[in-house]
A and B are shown apart, each in its own frame.
Chain A
Amino acid sequence: MTPLLHLSGLTKAYPGVIANDDVGFEIQPGEVHALLGENGAGKSTLVKMIYGLVRPDSGEMRLHGEPFAPTEPREARAAGVAMVFQHFSLFEALTVAENISLGMENPPENAALSDQIRQVSANYGLTLDPDRRIGDMSAGERQRVEIVRCLLQNPKLLVMDEPTSVLTPQEVDVLFETLRKLRDEGTSILYISHKLEEIRTICDNATILRLGKVVGTCVPSEETPKTMAEMMVGTELKTPSKRPYTPGPSLLDVHDMWLQSADPFGTSLRDISFSLHAGEVLGIAGVAGNGQDELLLALSGEERVTNDAIKLKGENVGNLGPNHRRLQGLLAAPEERLGHAAAPDMSLTENALLTGFTRQRLTNRGFVKWQATRNFARAIIEKFDVRTPGTENAAKSLSGGNLQKFVIGREIMQRPDVLIVNQPTWGVDASAAAFIREALLELAEQGAGVIVISQDLDELMEISDTFAVLSEGRLSRVRSASGVTIEEIGLLMGGTEVDNAAA
């Protein structure tokens, strides 16, 4: 049988890095093929070549046995290749049908298009109302819009880049139903992910990339997540060992905290209440866009709330700014590394100063002690194994994992009483992620309280002592993490039973 897509010898080099080095594999018709690898392994570059966004330096692609060299996405689409990106390209102020129409070469009349959308969404079990506005939709629903947009082109090959990173477990199930249906109809799917359980569930074959090279292929259903992870990383992985948790005195008390989001499409916080104790790792789960950013801003002090809504070691800090809270021991690391936790074009020394100047006393009457700051940056780099030529390199020159180690390290090195981190291992390679989790656990072990806001349930299950779910700006009751099942969390994340399921 002729493979649907045949790749051989694909090479693409960028300055200083070979993103893809002699990559080759085949995708058969009606196959769900996984592309597996850590961040920076070259998955994105590879699919961009298939989708015509990047041209390979050398190598060959064949579609249905014919040479295939798309120079732009339009050509790839015409040949039957469709792609759902990790980051959606949708206009929030427009409706579903309007968004889909904008992406088409020759859009049909609105009414006809709406009918087509309804028909496709009914066929594949993707409930979608063409007249709804994107701004009102959840991430899972937005993804459906992107998928339906692709399906309207009758693709032979559907490329999906990290499709489940924004979905609740239930939404993942719905997505997988759709993918199976597509496969049974003969559509091939190239599925990119680093979530190994999912790949075992849905994929027929897997190609594993490491540092731009194909390092192996496997049949995921015959492997364990651990063996696949080790193929991805190339070494054995150790999972952090969890220590027994005995709650210490209460460090942070949040009571009846409300925050109107400054972003018109953001989520306002409503009546948030919880306590955090010494030695506790509190995991806060939830689908993206349910108030995670706002919660971090309210706790870090970037947004003020009523003064008595937040008590830090008994003191009201709700209307204090970030630096006052830092002085009192409350530190934070936001989700967005470049542009929020760190200034991209500034050196690591300057980024060490960014949050460290109050607590580390890096200024004297407003004058910066640059030597002390450099030493602080160097200490972070050494202690947290940040791979960089030196303290004077720009933050943006670091890989995601290294910068994240720097950001988390910068806060931990300031010996916080309470540390709040949002998505600490998002987009970070497996070994850096393990390192960061270990560091957070160690901090808690030394008596600090740690809040981990994350959309990665596996991560939360691994490190949390206690557990709560953020949904539509409300926080569920905090419960012990032991004995929670993924299904229960999934229901909580979907926003149902926030009040009674936690009991």
Chain B
Amino acid sequence: MLRLEQRPEPSRAMQIATPIIAVIATMIAGGVMFALLGSNPFTAIRIIFWDPIFNDVVASYTRPQLLIKAAPLILMAIGLSFGFRANVWNIGAEGQFIMGAVVGGGTALALYPYESFIVFPIIIVMGAVGGFLWAMIPALLKIKFNANEILVSLMLVYVAANFLSAMVTGPMKSPVGMGFPESRNFNEYQSAFNSELLSNTGLHFGVLAMMAAVVVGYIALTRHLFGFQIRVAGQSARASRFAGVNPNLTIALCLGISGALAGLAGLFEVTGPASKLSTNFPLGYGFTAIIVAFLGRLNPIGILFAGLLMSLTYIGGELAQFQLQIPAAAIQAFQGMLLFFLLGVDILINFRVRLKTKGVA
């Protein structure tokens, strides 16, 4: 029999190795699933992981998509990772993403058709404010009444989605949209449009913001007292209070940062790739960002890679759906496996597997 044995210290080698093991295990289990669905597993895996980057036929379209999809995931995951390290569980990044888009995008719609270089900075700030304020609701309820932030932030996702619906069927409905439940298209409004900075790269302002978040996040986490205090708060509430960390401030900061970054992600998404507010705008990026945060070990550099990987499975998954007629649910199951294996093999960091020696009676 196999037996788990606690390691005296967490293994550093395993901390690096487990994500790789998880990806390989996902490929194997996913391959079996694809085979059972009647597709060639090797082709499916190749289409998902290889073709989006290297296949000449599709890569010109998929390569820019890689950054476009990864940017919001990474931006949000970095924000979430601070909270997750401090045991502040913001599950509602999706709602903050939507509210960032609604508030920032709504500001742009209000300013239309005023053209000025100042418009874009204003709506960026408003996007961050929208996400921030939405995240302050669970923060204040937690601080004042010890309400569970997991439930509150999650429920607020549905509130935000319905608020978005109300907006795009009401005040923000496009006057030229022929009655569809969607806003004016932002690519008709030059000052507010988040255009591609270099053509065919997918590089837009949101990608720049994401890169800045990775760098700032990394420095804050490893070099700054703030990152240290957050890590202490997550490990032991009593030790952090002993170290003089204010627990309420930590809750507010963690939710505030993740909310603001999610709002930013929403703003860049709505004014760029999505190009309009509509009932179809929420795509679940806020939930996927949770997976990305953990896949990246709550470390900004890790999150960068995890976000790119996750983006790859999205794009590759779409390709596989299209080319092999693999059902969308199978692709979601495949992504689910990735998280499952990642969390599963995590145990190897703190435990090692031993063959059980027979116990002596």
* A residues at B contact (CB < 8 Å): 15-16, 55-59, 69, 300-302, 321-323, 326, 332, 334, 336, 339-346, 350, 353-355, 357-358, 363, 366-368, 370, 393-394, 397
Contacts and interface: CB of A to CB of B under 8 A. Distances in A.
B353 interface: no
Contacts of B46: none
B36 interface: no
Contacts of B223: 367-368, 370
Contacts of B244: 301, 321-323, 326, 358
27 contacts: A15-B8, A55-B360, A57-B357, A57-B360, A301-B244, A302-B242, A326-B244, A332-B242, A334-B238, A336-B238, A339-B236, A339-B238, A340-B242, A341-B242, A343-B239, A343-B240, A344-B236, A345-B10, A345-B235, A350-B228, A354-B243, A366-B224, A367-B224, A368-B224, A393-B9, A394-B10, A397-B8
Nearest to B243: A354
- Please tell me the size bucket of the interface on B: 20 to 34
B361 interface: yes
A397 B10 CA distance: 10
A368 B243 contact: no
B69 interface: no
A394 B242 CA distance: 18
B63 interface: no
Given A322-B244, A342-B239, 9 more contacts: A55-B361, A321-B246, A343-B231, A343-B239, A345-B10, A354-B242, A355-B242, A357-B225, A397-B9
Given A55-B360, A69-B361, A345-B10, A366 B225 contact: yes
A407 to B, nearest CB: 10
Please give me the 4 A-B residue pairs with the lowest Cβ-Cβ distance, nearest first: A323-B244, A340-B238, A322-B244, A69-B361
B243 A340 contact: no
Contacts of A366: 224-226
Interface string B1-41: 00001101110000000000000000000000000000000
Nearest to A293: B238
Contacts of B235: 343-346
A96 to B, nearest CB: 30
A137 B233 CA distance: 32
B360 A341 contact: no
A368 B225 contact: yes
Contacts of B231: 343, 346, 350
B11 to A, nearest CB: 12
Contacts of B9: 393-394, 397
A354 B10 contact: no
Contacts of B246: 321
Contacts of A69: 361
A301 B244 CA distance: 8
A15 B5 contact: yes
Contacts of A346: 231-232, 235
B242 A334 contact: yes
B143 to A, nearest CB: 15
Given A321-B244, A322-B243, A367 B8 contact: no
B232 A343 contact: yes
A363 B360 CA distance: 55
